[in-house]
Structure 1
Amino acid sequence: MVDLRKELGHIRRPIDGRIFALKLAVLCSLISVGVALVLSGSVWRMAVGIILCGLMYAHAIELQHEALHGTGLRSRRGNALVGVLLGIPMLISFAAYRAAHMRHHRRLGTPENREFFDYGDQYGFGSGSKVHDVLLWIYRFSMIGHYVNFLVVCVKLAAGRPLPDEKPAAMRAIRRDHALMSAILIVTVVTSVVTHSLLAVWLWLVPLAIANPVHALIELPEHYRCQTDTTDVFRNTRSIRSTWLMTWFTNGNNFHVEHHFMPSLPIAQLGELHLALAGRHHYYHRTYRGFFRSLFGPDPSVPYSERVLLSSQPR
């Protein structure tokens, strides 16, 4: 694996902050369009605006993921500042996400591995009970666990209690993020009550009903039903070729094998690495539609690779 990384080292190029800046500009522009539609007064335009805002809040977390790896902008402080702001709509602490995500990269394939977003049956092993599995899907798509954890962390920080696994520097940054998000929440609620305005509901709360399941769906293919008891990234992670639109929307998250193979590689270069690693993937789909169709296929215990070969053939 080390030799292969050295062999493909030529793919790595310096971080081009202009690409990330363009992504941020597109994000802000689309959110602005969504806000304008919500404020238009038309029920149909308002619905479209809510959906657009929700989609962009989920997209923002994919950009936050790039920032926490330090590959968005050349400046560490710039990545941190942008990362903190990107996480506010979905109440995702940049510092907490970064600390947990880096541990995930180091520990994937080991019993110590934990995800920042814990959906219960994280990797699709199933419980054997259909009712329990349905409840887990609801739990996943609503992201209730994330928001409960946000409140729990806020309480712990307010009480001066430490967070497991977190070093002092990370604790300070996590406290900063939660203080900022809590302040924004309080100001928003108080302002809404005093002014008798439902603006925050239509621009923030309701769009989360779109953002939460969309974010869960973006993350689902990463390691779902892969061989998560091995440290081999070609077996514990999945990649999806997909279209340019989905590659943009997921911010390269579809090239997840490549991301785990070279975590510090700028997102814009993952497509090139994907081509260089062709044929090595054990879990691979040509489209997101192919992946989601495979969830309702034969016995889920059968390795995906056996079904991918069939489902990925041109029709």
Structure 2
Amino acid sequence: MGQFLARSLTSFCLWFAACLLTTSLFVSSAFAQTGSEGLSPTLSAIKKAHAVRLGYRESSPPFSFLDQAGRPIGYSLELCEAIVEEIGIEVDDPNLRIDYVKVTSDDRIEAVLQNKIDLECGSTTANAERGKRVAFSPLMFVAGTKLMVPKASNVRSLTDLKGKTIVVTKGTTNEQAIQAADKKLLLGLNIVTAPDHEQSFQMVNDGKADAFATDDILLYGLIARHKAQEYFRVVGDYLSYDPYGIMFRKGEPQLAAVVERAFRKLGSNRDLIPLYNKWFTARLPTGERLNVPISLQLEEAFKAMDDSPGANN
């Protein structure tokens, strides 16, 4: 597992470096591809509608979830709101409306591809396979697949689930990770899927599954949201390594440049770490507290986005 984490960290560093290089190239080429021709397709549609459509998740705390009044809130949505401000500057419309569109793990990529949303503001892993179809913002979080089990369970790792039922949320990288581990370790798992994280959580809560596999931070968020710390725990080694990003349409360098610029402004203003702390260490608007301090990798990634003079001195 130590070798896996080392390889994962190397992959993370390569992915992040490639992400910065790619977005920098987008910035350089954006003006060449638009210029006198006007705005890119997405930005043109936003300007015409005076609105940006944000895809949100109902049960991915603290990234994207609903408050007590049923309104979408979360870390990812605040990042998207900063991007919306930058879009307003780009299209010369500072009063853009935000339209919230519900998406799930299974339909979020198609929602981007089919032009149903402009930005996906959830808890989406940015990997090479998905990068062939959609574009991603710079890194906003790093997570990994772990297991949620009842505290009364004897399960400490994936191998303890041999022959048992494990639930994963449909359309996630966690589903792929569990299937790969099951095949490699010959565990004979009964792998079932649920449409969203809340339903996956409820399957374990109702005794219909022995464990729920998803990103560790989402498990902690769901347990805290349900005030279920006495009943469930997160166990096991990391079964995957998942860098998160805001998702948007591929092939629009002007839009990519706007997203990149929004992140760099947040970095230059030193807003990224306080924003992280607001959602991961402070008490959430819904009352719970996750107490998940920022990782060294993510803190360094945020500092790398600070392009103000003297930032690296």
Question: After TM superposition, is the score higher than 0.5?
Answer: no
- Which has the higher relative contact order, 1 or 2, with Cα contacts under 8 A spaced 6 or more apart? 2
TM superposition score normalised by structure 1? 0.26
TM superposition score normalised by structure 2? 0.26
**Larger helix percent:** 1
